């Protein structure tokens, strides 16, 4: 079975538009097991019930931002090893450095094309 | 894709609103990290979405805007009056760009250019390098995927093997195995196999017998009891065996998952952006619903109201005793219907906030255009009113705001001379009062110059020079068609659209507008509006055997006319004397073509109708039946526009009644016959 049939991904973004676009792109890659969450806390709650392989999260979210979510994931025993792909508005060095320190697996700057997203995912989990 | 695009623009509206809110909070003196952050995030999110749809104009403007806000966030830019002003203008341009992108209209850089330059100035002042450092040294980190995780049973703690064999009674009692199988699927991933071993050949098949069974593998975190619960209603109607497969341990270690909580100390991520706010605001859960669906619901509720009224009438006619359970049941039904109606109307209701935000832009633009310093204060933004009313209020309110800035408030020098602060204040507030929504617009300007208004009205031939008018009557002259006191037509408000147009627009919404002014203190306009456009407070009247409904808002008073009050004016016109005034009397039956004019109207019931120009006219009818709420049913889709008729309704007895548009009817009638009605304002106040 190809990876795309097995991988589970959660998309975290406060804008439904962005969630929709990413989900649609994932669907285009043949990834079917996709969940979404509008913010960090609800993403954590969802992952607790439905463990995932990869978290694709926006950086700028109210309450808990993407890096704070990453930190929370890395602090939980069960989620420590989950893949984390950060979507940022722009490739800000400070964000990337902090992400690196916290164990971010990859990042992607907006705007991006589906192919860029695919590349960023495959760089983390291997060929879909 | 088109759907996501549409949802993006809806989301943009929300973000623009948050942006305005944030800027307003900053203007009011609060600029803590969270406020600045909210403002930044709104622009940032719009930019992000716009990038995905290739809306380049929007992206590049949002980028500059965002960079300036980022400098503010980072503390490299200080928030001064100039910066804040630029941010407000930026929000206006951003909102224009969003609209242009949505409607596909071309962008005119003339509007955004200066703002963009101002933003770039701010960025330059903050010495921030807006460009990203592309040569980021970051190597993606692969994760080792345990691909066994991908199996359906991954997340589950248990794997169950279920054998489900329905008995014939299960089918006979109306149960459906498919629903049960679907319910199982809710618990977790299932693999289902149908066992058809017992299925006889077709000619031996007894359709009353149950021959099928299912083997189900269910991977679920749920316990056996949860699975049994699915089959609760078919207990005894099937054979059910549930075995937990111990040989298949859950692949994911579950215990820690539930204990997983966000980190208690977000400070640990310093550098990653501002710390989490102490009290994160949880947005209220909302559902976006197509307006058509709501209108359908509103319509159906209208039908229920009508139906219920008809039922009440039948019960009345059946002559049941007052304490009969039917009556009391109906009473409760009536209450429920009202509650449903109110609730449904509330769905269409929206806070006036969006409207007020538009007005704050009008104030900014208008005051900049004529060089006055004006501050808008808003209150009661959460007050809700029908969506259509909000939309149709925008134009008249815009006009009134421009008037207030242009004519209401004095120039800064004049204000200083009068001992007022240079900056003029305009207050816009909304609140509920006795079942209606009141919108009040107040300025602290010079107030109405009544001498000037009076002279103007005389010059225009609207009143006679020797007329004696009360202050209120003079103020109301402003609402006369074509009245304008501006000495020179200013670019801002004197565009030939007068307060009469405002008044007509408000009245078309079933509203009323009034004016109060105090010399040197300012002017207050008060608009009172119905909560909804779907129901109407009406007076049920009869004329020439027809039943009609007249909107209550148009009726000033009702009276029974006596012979002594009637005066003939020419061969075809009747006037009635009403408190030292003559009011033209129109025969409603004759105007609508139900009958020829009567010889004598003594004893008729008369409705006194207030007109847009402040004059009045009277309608003669046969009887006044009742005053009640009626559900408005549009006629124009089926019948086109009929002069004098606004809509129709269905009364409790099932009878269709037309809803009158009295103002339209009177203008049509007076235009057609004689200028008697037009004479009336000129006679106002003269001794009779």
Q: Where are the domains of chain A?
A: 3-112
Rg from Cα positions in chain B: 35
Q: Report which secondary-structure segment, H or E, holds B443.
A: strand B436-443
**Model confidence at B680, in pLDDT bands (50, 70, 90)?**
very low
For position A58, what pLDDT does the model report? Answer: 93
Question: Which of helix, strand or coil describes residue A10?
Answer: strand
- Which is more confident, B277 or A46? A46
Minimum Cα–Cα distance from B5: chain A residue = A17
Distance separating alpha carbons of residues B217 and B108, to the nearest angstrom: 63
CB contact under 8 A, A47 and B260: yes
Helix (H) or strand (E) holding A98: helix A93-102
CA dihedral over A14, A16, A17, A19, signed as positive or negative: positive
Min distance B275 CA to chain A CA atoms (Å): 8
Q: Which residue has the higher pLDDT, B8 or B138?
A: B8
Helix ranges restricted to H, B211-290: 224-230
**Choice between B406 and B151, residue whose per-residue pLDDT is larger:** B406
Q: Which of B128, B143, B280 to mutate to test the interface with A (most CBs of A within 10 A)?
A: B143
Contact A1 B4 (CB under 8 A): no
What are the Cα distances from residue B449, in Å, to B310, B475, B518?
55, 9, 9
pLDDT value for B129? 46
Chain B contact set for A15 (CB, 8 A): 8, 11, 45, 48-49
Q: Is B171 exposed, middle or buried (0-12, 13-18, 19+ CB in 10 A)?
A: middle
pLDDT tens-digit series, residues B377-434 = 999 988 888 888 888 899 899 989 988 898 888 888 889 998 999 899 999 999 887 6
Contacts of A72 in chain B (CB under 8 A): 260-263
Interface test with chain A among B263, B278, B286, by most A beta carbons within 10 Å: B263
Count of Cβ atoms closer than 10 Å to residue B108 Cβ = 10
Any B CB within 8 A of A78 CB:
yes
Query: Are A21 and B4 an interchain contact pair (Cβ–Cβ within 8 Å)?
Result: yes
Asked whether the beta carbons of residue A53 and residue B280 sit closer than 8 angstroms, the reply is no
- Percent of chain B residues past pLDDT 70, beyond the cut: 84
Q: Average pLDDT over chain A, rounded to whole?
A: 90
- Where along chain B do its domains lie? 2-126, 152-244, 291-349, 352-530, 535-683
- Cβ <8 Å between B271 and A98: yes
Q: What whole-number percentage of chain B has pLDDT above 90?
A: 12
In the structure encoding, which two tokens stand for residue B178, read together?
A: 């498919």
Q: Which CATH code fits B152-244?
A: 3.30.70.60
State how far the Cα of B333 lies from the Cα of B308, in Å rounded to an integer.
8
Please say whether the beta carbons of B77 and B122 come within 8 A. yes
For the segment B125-137, the average pLDDT, to the nearest whole number, is 53
In DSSP terms, B425 is beta-bridged to B375
What residue in A sits closest to B39 (Cα-Cα)? Answer: A62
Query: Is the distance from CB of A58 to CB of A70 less than 8 angstroms?
Result: no
Across the interface, whether the CB atoms of A78 and B257 are under 8 A apart is answered yes
Has residue B25 got a pLDDT over 50? yes
- List the Cα angle B645/B649/B650 in 5-degree steps: 145
Please give the share of chain A, as a percent, with pLDDT higher than 70. 100
- CB neighbours of residue B674 within 10 Å: 16
- Which chain B residues have a beta carbon less than 8 Å from that of A63? 276-277, 280-281
pLDDT above 50: residue B486: yes
Identify whether the C-beta of residue B366 lies closer than 8 Å to the C-beta of residue B403: no
Put simply, the answer to whether B273 touches A41 (Cβ < 8 Å) is no
| Contact criterion met (CB < 8 Å) for A89 and B155 | no
Cα angle B587, B593, B597 (rounded to 5 degrees) comes to 40
Q: Does residue B267 register a pLDDT over 50? A: no
Q: Do A18 and B48 touch (CB under 8 A)?
A: yes
Distance (Å, rounded) from C-alpha B139 to C-alpha B100? 40
- Comparing alpha-carbon positions, the chain A residue that sits nearest to B288 is A16
**DSSP assignment, residue B406?**
I
Q: Are B584 and B573 in contact (CB under 8 A)?
A: yes
Please choose, from the candidates B623, B631, B660, the residue with its C-alpha nearest in 3D space to the C-alpha of residue B549: B660
Does residue A127 belong to the interface with chain B, where contact is any CB pair within 8 Å? no
Tell me the mean pLDDT in the region B631-650: 78
Instruction: Look up the CATH architecture of domain A3-112.
Output: 3-Layer(aba) Sandwich (3.40)
User: Taking the domain B352-530, which CATH number applies?
Assistant: 3.30.565.10
* Pair type for strands B436-443 and B512-518: unpaired
Tell me how close the Cα of A89 comes to any Cα of chain B, in angstroms. 6
- A91 and B134 within 8 Å at the Cβ level: the answer is yes
Residue A11 C-alpha from the chain's centroid: 5
Beta strand segments in B260-368, E: 349-351
Cα separation of B365 and B111, whole Å?
Answer: 12
Interface membership of A56 toward B (CB under 8 Å): no
pTM here? Answer: 0.53
Q: What are phi and psi of B26, to 5 degrees?
A: -65, -40
- Picking from A9, A89, A110, A121 by the largest number of B CB atoms within 10 A of its own CB, the best residue to mutate is A89
Decide: B407 and B424 in contact? Cβ < 8 Å.
Answer: no
Using DSSP's 3-state secondary structure scheme, residue B625 falls into: strand
Say how many C-beta atoms besides its own lie within 10 A of residue B344's C-beta: 19
pLDDT tens digit sequence for B555-572: 888 999 888 888 887 767
Partner-chain contact A6 B150, CB within 8 Å: yes
Give the residue from chain B lying closest to A8, CA to CA. B150
The confidence score (pLDDT) of residue B236 equals: 82
Buried b / exposed e across B37-72, counting CB within 10 Å, b at 16+?
bbbbbbbbbbbbbbbbbebeebbebbbbbbbbbbbb
| B686 or B50, greater pLDDT | B50
Which of B3, B145, B188 best probes binding to A when mutated, by most A CB atoms within 10 angstroms? B145
3-state secondary structure B544-604: CCEEEEEEHHHEEEEEECCHHHEEEECCCEEEEEECCEEEEEEEHHHHCCCCCCCCCCCCC
In this prediction, residue B679 carries a pLDDT of 36
Closest Cα in chain A, distance from residue B214 (Å): 26
Residue A9: what are its φ and ψ, rounded to 5°?
-130, 145
**Within chain A, how many helices (H) and strands (E) appear?**
6, 5
pLDDT tens, residue by residue, B438-457: 999 999 998 888 888 888 88
Q: Which residues in chain A have Cβ-Cβ distances shorter than 8 Å to B154? A: 8, 51
Cα gap B71→B132, rounded to integer Å: 14
How far is B338 from B535, CA to CA, in rounded Å?
12
Q: Which residue of B has its CA nearest to A9?
A: B150
Secondary element (H or E) of residue B659: strand B656-660
Lowest mean pLDDT across B189-198, B359-368, B479-488, B499-508: B479-488
- Residues A77-121: pLDDT tens digits? 888 889 999 998 777 788 888 898 899 999 998 888 899 999 999
Which of B12-21, B129-138, B303-312, B352-361 is predicted least confidently? B129-138
Nearest to B413 by CA among B454, B361, B443, B371: B371
Of the partner residues B49, B134, B149, the one whose CB lies closest to the CB of residue A53: B149
Q: What is the separation, in whole angstroms, between the first and last Cα of chain B?
A: 73
Cβ-Cβ contacts under 8 Å, B147 against chain A: 3, 6
* CB within 8 Å of chain B, chain A residues 28-47: 40-41, 44, 47
Across chain B, mean pLDDT equals 79
Q: What pLDDT score does B33 carry?
A: 81
Question: CA-CA distance, B572 to B569, in Å (whole number)?
Answer: 7
Residue B146 pLDDT grade (very low, low, confident, very high; cuts 50, 70, 90): low
Instruction: Tell me how far apart the alpha carbons of residues A1 and A9 are, in angstroms, rounded to a whole number.
Output: 17
Question: Which of chain B's residues have a Cβ under 8 Å away from the Cβ of A98?
Answer: 269, 271-272
- What is the separation of C-alpha B516 from the centre of its chain, rounded to a whole number of angstroms? 28
Express each pLDDT in B317-364 by its tens digit: 888 887 888 888 888 888 888 888 878 877 888 889 889 988 988 898
Q: What is the DSSP letter of B267?
A: G
Residue % of chain A over a pLDDT of 90 = 55
Sequence-ordered strand ranges (E) for B485-521: 512-518
Q: Are B555 and B659 in contact (CB under 8 A)?
A: no
Inter-axis angle of helices B109-126 and B81-103, nearest 10: 140
Question: Cβ separation of A105 and B221 shorter than 8 Å?
Answer: no
Q: Which residues of chain A make contact with B47, given a CB cutoff of 8 A? A: 89, 110
- Its CATH architecture, for the domain B535-683, is Beta Barrel (2.40)
Of B4, B11, B108, B103, give the one whose Cα is nearest residue B61.
Answer: B108
Nearest to B591 by CA among B472, B673, B534, B476: B673
Q: Do B11 and A16 touch (CB under 8 A)?
A: yes
User: What mean pLDDT do residues B480-506 have?
Assistant: 63
Mean pLDDT, rounded, for B27-34: 80
Q: Using 50, 70 and 90 to split pLDDT, how confident is the model at B27? A: confident
Q: What are the DSSP E strand ranges found in B124-274? A: 158-166, 190-195, 213-220, 238-244
Please provide residue B486's backbone torsions phi and psi, each rounded to the nearest 5 degrees: -60, 125
Residue contact B142–A17, C-beta within 8 A: no
Residue B98 is predicted with a pLDDT of: 92
The residue among B339, B526, B521, B508 whose CA lies nearest residue B431 is B526
The pLDDT value recorded for residue A93 is: 83
Q: Is the pLDDT of residue B201 over 70?
A: yes
CATH number for the domain running over B2-126: 1.20.120.160
A18 touches chain B (CB under 8 A): yes
User: CB B273: neighbour CB atoms within 10 A?
Assistant: 22
Q: Are A48 and B257 within 8 A, CB to CB?
A: yes
Q: Which residue has the higher pLDDT, B13 or B569?
A: B13
Q: Which of A49, A105, A109 sits opposite B141 (nearest CB)?
A: A105
**Per-residue pLDDT at B678 exceeds 50:** no
The 10 Å Cβ neighbour count of residue B513 is 22
pLDDT band at B136 (very low <50, low <70, confident <90, very high): low
Q: Is A128 on the interface with B (CB under 8 A)?
A: no
pLDDT of residue B497: 54
Q: How many CB pairs under 8 A join A and B?
A: 182
> Are the beta carbons of A110 and B48 separated by less than 8 Å?
yes
Among partner residues B134, B136, B262, which is closest to A64 by beta-carbon distance? Answer: B262
DSSP B340: H
pLDDT at B127 over 60: no
Distance from the Cα of A33 to chain B's closest Cα (Å) equals 10
* Total residue length of chain B: 688
* pLDDT of B518 higher than 80: yes
């Amino acid at each position: 079975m190809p990876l795309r049939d097995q991988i589970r991904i959660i998309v975290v973004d406060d804008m439904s538009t962005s969630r929709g676009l990413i989900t649609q792109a994932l669907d285009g890659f043949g990834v079917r097991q996709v969940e979404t969450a509008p913010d960090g806390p609800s993403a954590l709650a969802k992952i607790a019930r439905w463990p995932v392989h990869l978290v694709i999260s926006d950086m700028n979210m109210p309450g808990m931002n993407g890096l704070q979510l990453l930190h929370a994931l890395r602090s939980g025993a069960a989620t420590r090893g989950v893949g984390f792909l950060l979507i940022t508005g722009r490739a800000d060095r400070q964000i990337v450095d902090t992400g690196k320190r916290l164990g971010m697996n990859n990042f992607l700057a907006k705007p991006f094309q589906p192919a860029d997203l695919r590349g960023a995912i495959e760089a983390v989990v291997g060929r879909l | 894709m088109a759907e996501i695009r549409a949802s993006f623009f809806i989301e943009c509206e929300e973000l623009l609103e948050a942006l305005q809110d944030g800027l307003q909070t900053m203007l009011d003196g609060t600029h803590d990290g969270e406020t600045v952050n909210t403002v930044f995030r709104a622009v940032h999110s719009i930019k992000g979405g716009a990038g995905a749809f290739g809306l380049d104009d929007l992206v590049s403007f949002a980028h500059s805007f965002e960079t300036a806000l980022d400098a503010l966030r980072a503390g490299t830019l200080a928030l001064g009056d100039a910066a804040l002003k630029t941010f407000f203008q930026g929000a206006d341009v951003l909102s224009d760009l969003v609209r242009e992108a949505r409607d596909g209209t071309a962008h005119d850089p003339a509007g955004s250019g200066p703002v963009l330059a101002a933003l770039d100035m701010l960025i330059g002042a903050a010495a921030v390098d807006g460009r990203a450092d592309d040569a980021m040294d970051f190597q993606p980190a692969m994760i080792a995927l345990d691909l066994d995780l991908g199996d359906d049973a991954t997340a589950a703690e248990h794997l169950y093997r279920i054998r489900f064999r329905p008995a014939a009674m299960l089918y006979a009692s109306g149960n459906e195995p498919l629903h049960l199988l679907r319910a199982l699927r809710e618990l977790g991933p299932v693999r289902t196999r149908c066992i058809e071993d017992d299925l006889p050949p077709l000619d031996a098949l007894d359709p009353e017998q149950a021959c099928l069974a299912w083997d189900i593998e269910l991977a679920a975190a749920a316990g056996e009891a949860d699975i049994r619960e699915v089959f609760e209603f078919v207990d005894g109607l099937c054979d059910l065996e549930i075995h937990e497969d111990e040989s298949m341990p859950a692949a994911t270690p579950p215990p820690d998952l539930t204990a997983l909580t966000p980190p208690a100390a977000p400070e640990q991520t310093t550098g990653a952006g501002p710390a989490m706010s102490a009290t994160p605001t949880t947005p209220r859960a909302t559902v976006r619903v197509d307006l058509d669906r709501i209108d359908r619901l509103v319509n159906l509720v209208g039908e229920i109201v009508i139906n219920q009224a008809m039922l009440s009438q039948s019960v009345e006619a059946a002559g049941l005793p007052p304490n009969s359970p039917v009556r009391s049941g109906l009473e409760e039904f009536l209450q429920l219907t009202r509650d449903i109606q109110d609730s449904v109307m509330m769905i269409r209701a929206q806070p006036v906030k969006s409207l007020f935000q538009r007005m704050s832009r009008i104030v900014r633009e208008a005051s900049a255009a004529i060089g006055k310093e004006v501050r808008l204060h808003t209150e009661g933004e959460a007050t809700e009113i029908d969506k259509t009313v909000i939309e149709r209020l925008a134009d008249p309110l815009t006009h009134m705001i421009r008037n207030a800035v242009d004519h209401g408030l004095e120039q800064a020098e004049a204000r200083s001379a009068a001992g007022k602060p240079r900056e003029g204040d305009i207050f816009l507030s909304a609140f509920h009062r006795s079942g209606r929504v009141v919108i009040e617009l107040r300025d602290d300007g010079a107030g109405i110059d009544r001498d000037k208004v009076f002279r103007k009205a005389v010059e225009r031939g609207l009143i006679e020079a020797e007329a004696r008018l009360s202050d209120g009557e003079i103020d109301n002259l402003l609402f006369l068609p074509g009245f304008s006191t501006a000495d020179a037509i200013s670019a801002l408000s004197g565009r030939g659209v007068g307060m009469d147009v405002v008044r007509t627009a408000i009245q078309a919404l079933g509203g009323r507008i009034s004016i109060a002014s105090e010399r040197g203190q300012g002017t207050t306009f008060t608009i009172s509006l119905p909560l909804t456009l779907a129901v109407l407070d009406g007076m049920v009247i009869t004329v020439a055997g027809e039943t009609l409904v007249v909107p209550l808002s148009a009726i000033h008073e009702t009276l029974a006319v006596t012979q002594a009050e009637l005066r003939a004016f020419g061969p075809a016109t009747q006037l009635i004397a009403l408190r030292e005034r003559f009011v033209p009397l129109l025969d409603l039956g004759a105007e609508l073509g139900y009958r020829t004019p009567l010889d004598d109207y003594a004893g008729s019931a008369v409705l006194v109708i207030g007109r847009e120009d402040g004059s009045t006219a009277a309608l003669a009818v046969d009887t006044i039946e009742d005053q009640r709420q009626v559900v408005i049913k549009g006629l124009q889709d089926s019948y086109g526009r009929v002069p004098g008729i606004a809509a129709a309704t269905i009364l409790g007895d099932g009878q269709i009644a037309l809803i009158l548009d009295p103002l339209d009817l009177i203008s049509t009638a007076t235009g057609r016959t004689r200028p008697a009605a037009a004479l009336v304002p000129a006679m106002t106040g003269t001794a009779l």
